[in-house]
Amino acid sequence: MSLRVPIGISGVAGAGKDLFFNLLSKKTGVRRFALADQLKHECNQWCYDQYDIEPVDCTREEKEQIRELLVFHGVFKRKLSNGRHWINKLTPAINAFLINAQTQDVPVVTDIRYQEYEKDEVYWLKNELNGVLVHVSQYQNKDGKRVWKEPVNSEESRQDPILKNHADFVIEWEKIKCDNPEENEYLIQKVEEFTAWYNEKNANKK
């Protein structure tokens, strides 16, 4: 990937957004950014004081225990700012990274979750960062039918169909049971399909 066109990843929790990023990182130079990291840092001290849990460094089980609290705080700040609070916190870091001539790594925002307000996360990614949106969904085959990974809360249930509709590239992959999914040929092929599309799209911009 030669041009540094930012990539955003959307999809419900557990669908494989982080897996997609990890597989992508094995194919090309990328740097991870996350809107939720800003949320975790903002809530970190309070959660530690009240629950002895640090959102920035906790287990998956601990994260589930405080998920509703984090969602509430994140949504409340979004309402106060028409969806811009977390965007405004992360944008300076991404812009600084993009003007860094020492690297050609592509910034990847691993948690695009909203297109609710006029200039929300999808708008920001596509119109302010001039990036592309990938939507990831995961299914299991049960009795010959695809059973899709379901949203974990009402926010995901409400927003995920909108995000998929706005996606520039859609990945639908089966849940694979293996010790190391990052070495699974089926999953690797899915990411290679994206990189081929991304490279072709960027080549047309030159």
What confidence score (pLDDT) does residue 205 get? 66
Task: Name the pLDDT band for 1 (thresholds 50, 70, 90).
Answer: very low
pLDDT at 155 over 80: yes
Give one DSSP letter per residue of 106-150, joined into a string: EEEES------STT-HHHIIIIIS--EEEEEEEEEEETTEEEEPP
How far, in Å, CA of 1 to CA of 29, rounded? 8
Q: For the chain, give the mean pLDDT.
A: 93
- Cβ atoms within 10 A of the Cβ of 88, count? 11
How far, in Å, CA of 29 to CA of 105, rounded? 4
How far, in Å, CA of 49 to CA of 57, rounded? 14
Q: Per-residue pLDDT tens for 91-138? A: 999 999 999 878 899 999 999 999 999 999 999 999 999 999 999 999
Q: What is the mean pLDDT of residues 72-90?
A: 96
Q: What is the mean pLDDT of residues 80-90?
A: 97
Going by the DSSP 8-state scheme, the letter that residue 174 receives in this structure is: E
